[in-house]
Amino acid sequence: MTAATAARPETPAPGEDSGREPGRGKPFGWRFISPLLLGSSLNPINSSMIATGLVGIGVDFHKGPGTTATLISVLYLCSAVMQPTMGKLATVFGARRVFLVGVSILLLGGVLGAAAPAFGFLVVSRALIGVGTSAAYPTAMALVRKRADELGTGVPSRVLGNFSIASQVTIVVGLPLGGVLAGAFGWRALFLVNVPLALLTLVCTLIGVPREGRRQVEHRSLATTVDVVGIALFAATIVGVLVFLSGLGQPRWWLLATALVLAGVLIGWERRASKPLIDVRMLARNPRVLRTYIRQTLASLGTYTALYGLSQWMEGAAHYSASQVGLILLPLSGVSVVLARMVSTKGWVKVPLVLTGVCLVLTGVVMLTITHSSPVLLLIGMSLLFGFANGFSGYANQATLYLQSSAKDIAVASGLYRTFTYFGAIFSSSLIAIAFGSSATDHGLHSVAYVISGIGVLTGLMALLDRTIPRRAEQKRGE
C-alpha cells in the first residue's frame, strides 16, 4: 500500500468533469458503475472459461494436459502480481487512465489468442489477458472511493455489493459460458469473446466515467515513484509462493525458502523506499488489514476447495455429467447473489463474517455424510450451504477492507486483496490433488470435508474475536 504518490494534487482542467454529476441523477448510477463492474468481472470469467477449451487446444497444437494447463497458471500468476502493481500505477497516473490502458491490453490479448498460429502465442495472450484484467478491480475501487469521498456518501455498500455479486456470478458462469462458446465456435472463441467485451467496456468508460485532472510526474524520478525495485521483488516473491503452493503433492522446499528470503528483502526495501509499493510500516501499525487479507485467503481457500473438489467428485465418483453438475451447483450461485444483495443493502459486516465460518463448518459436516450413492437433493442442500458461506463473505470482507484503507491506499490495498484471493485459489488445487490422488473417491471427498470444516473454524474465530471489525458499515447517502 503506497503512502504517497509523486503526482501533484489533481485539479480538473477546463472542460473536465469533477465527478459530481450535478443534475445527472444518482452519483453511483449505472452509467458510472456499469463499465467498472464489467471490467472487474473479466478477470474471474477468463480464469474459469479457459478450462473448457484445453482439450481442443491440446489436439490442435499437439500438447499434453500438463502443457495446456500452463494457460490457467500463467493468468493466475500474472494477475496475482499485477493487481497491486496496477493499483500502484493508478495512484501515480490516475485510476481512469490505468483502467483504460488495462482494457486496451485485454483487447490486444484477445486478438492475439484468437489468431494464435502456435501454442506460445496463446501463453503470451493469456499473460496479456491477466495483466489487462488486473487493472480493473483496483482502479474501480479507487474511482468509487474518490467519488464517495467527494460527494460525502459514506461507504457505498450497495456498490460494493454489486462488485461482490459480479465476481461470484462470473466465477460460476465462466465454465458453462466457455462450454457454449467452445462447443459452438471452437476454442478460439474463448479468446475472441474478449474483443467485443473490451470494446464495450472502453466505450462505456469513455462515456460514463469522468475524466481525471492532469497529473504531472517527474520523469527523472519515475522509477522511484513507481517503485520498480519493489515491484520486481514483489513479483519474484509472489511467483515463488504460488508455484510452491501449486505443487504441494511433491513440495519443493527450496522454492519456499527462496520465496521467504525474497520476502525479507522486499520488506527491507519497502521500509526504506520513499514511495513503496507496499507500505509495510503502515501494515505494522495497522495489523487489522493483514487480518482481513488472511480472512479473504481462508474464504477463497474454502470456496475453491469446495467448488472444484465437489465438481470433480460428482463427475469422477458419482458419475454425473458436466451439465448435471452445473445444474446441481446452480442454486449455489443464486443463493450467493441473494445473500450478497441483502447483506450489502443492510451494511452488515461482522455477523456475516462469523456466519461464513459457521456455514463452511456445516458444509464440511454434511460433506462427511455423502457417498457416491447419496440422493441428489442432499448434494443440492450442501451446495446451498456453501452458497450461504460464499454470499456472506464476499461483501463483508470487501467492505471491511474499504473501511480500513485510506483513499490514497485503496487501489493497492484492493489489488493485494485479489492477490490473497489467488493464494487461496491455487492452494486449493494442491489440497484437492492431495486428497483425491489419482482419482476422485468418497474417501477423498471426506478428506476435503475435514479441510473445509477446519477452514470454517478458523474463519469464524478470526471474525468473532476481532474487535476491530465493525458490526455495520457506516450509513451511506445518495446512492
Q: How far is CA 382 from CA 183, 361, 369, 374, in A?
A: 30, 11, 10, 12
Cell matching residue 163: 462488485
Q: Which of 122, 119, 107, 123 is nearest to 193 (CA)?
A: 107
Q: What are phi and psi of 23, to 5 degrees?
A: 75, 10
What was the pLDDT predicted at 292? 92
Do the domains at 25-212 and 286-472 have one common CATH topology?
A: yes
pLDDT tens, the chain, 479 aa long: 444 434 444 444 433 444 444 334 577 888 899 999 999 999 988 887 887 788 788 889 988 877 887 888 888 889 989 999 999 999 889 999 999 999 999 999 999 999 999 999 999 999 999 999 999 999 999 999 999 888 887 778 888 888 888 877 776 677 667 778 888 888 899 999 999 999 999 999 999 999 887 766 666 667 788 889 999 999 999 989 888 887 777 888 999 999 999 999 999 999 988 888 888 887 888 889 999 999 999 988 888 788 778 877 887 888 887 667 777 877 777 888 888 888 888 889 999 999 999 999 999 999 999 998 999 999 888 888 888 888 888 888 888 988 888 888 889 988 999 888 888 878 887 888 888 877 788 998 999 899 999 999 999 999 999 988 988 886 444 34
**CATH classification (class only), 286-472:** mainly alpha
112 is written with which cell numbers? 492475439
> b/e for 375-391, b at 16 or more Cβ within 10 A?
eeeebeebbbbbbbbbb
The pLDDT value given to residue 323: 66
User: For 333, what's the count of Cα atoms within 13 Å in the CB-facing half-sphere?
Assistant: 17
Which of the four CATH numbers 3.40.50.1000, 1.20.1250.20, 1.10.3720.10, 3.90.550.10 does domain 25-212 have?
1.20.1250.20
Measure Cα distances from 477 to 8, 159, 343 in Å: 29, 12, 17
Determine the pLDDT at residue 463. 93
pLDDT score at 172? 64
Residue 271 sits at φ, ψ, to 5 deg, of -65, -30
In this structure, the chain runs to a length of 479
**Backbone dihedral region of 209: left (phi > 0), alpha (psi from -120 to 50 degrees) or beta?**
beta
* Side chain identity, residue 40: S
Residue 409 is predicted with a pLDDT of 86
CA 337 centroid distance within chain: 16
Give residue limits of the domains in the chain.
25-212, 228-272, 286-472
Q: For residues 87 and 83, what is the distance between their CA atoms, to the nearest angstrom?
A: 6
pLDDT at position 220: 63
55-105 confidence digits (pLDDT tens): 788 889 988 877 887 888 888 889 989 999 999 999 889 999 999 999 999
Euclidean distance between CA atoms 390 and 303, whole angstroms: 7
36 and 162 in contact (C-beta within 8 Å)?
no
Hey, is 348 helix, strand or coil? strand
* Residue 221 DSSP class: G
Identify the three-state secondary structure at position 82.
helix
Quote the pLDDT of residue 327: 77
Query: For residue 344, what pLDDT is reported?
Result: 86
Can you say whether residue 382 is alpha, beta or left, with left for phi > 0 and alpha for psi between -120 and 50 degrees? alpha
